[in-house]
Amino acid sequence: MGLREREIAVVAALCAMGNAAPQLRVHMHAALHVGCTPREIVEVVMQMSVYAGFPAALNGLAAVKEVFAEEGVALPLGEEGKP
């Protein structure tokens, strides 16, 4: 398993925990720096709504917005022009 896959797993786990926001943001930055696309990070966080609950996913999406703003990364838009 490469760094990219490890960061995806860590982002998912920290998002699901729901009580590790600072660590989640650190690993979102790391995920971007090891080649994860913004779309992949958003999709991982959205998937957590099914397994960890909607509040955990909403907190994860708030972290995504913060990290992407700090990195100068645009939120990926879907086919309808929505995140």
pLDDT, tens digit (0-9, with 9 covering 90-100), for 52-74: 999 999 999 999 999 999 999 99
Domains and CATH numbers, the chain: 3-71 (1.20.1290.10)
pLDDT tens, position by position, 30-40: 999 999 999 99
pLDDT of residue 8: 97
pTM to 2 decimal places: 0.89
Distances (CA, A) of 29 to 2, 45, 55, 66, 82: 16, 14, 21, 10, 23
Residues 6 or more apart whose CB falls under 8 angstroms from that of 49 comprise 56, 57
Q: What angle, 0 to 180 degrees and rounded to 10, lies between the N-to-C axes of helices 38-52 and 54-71?
A: 160
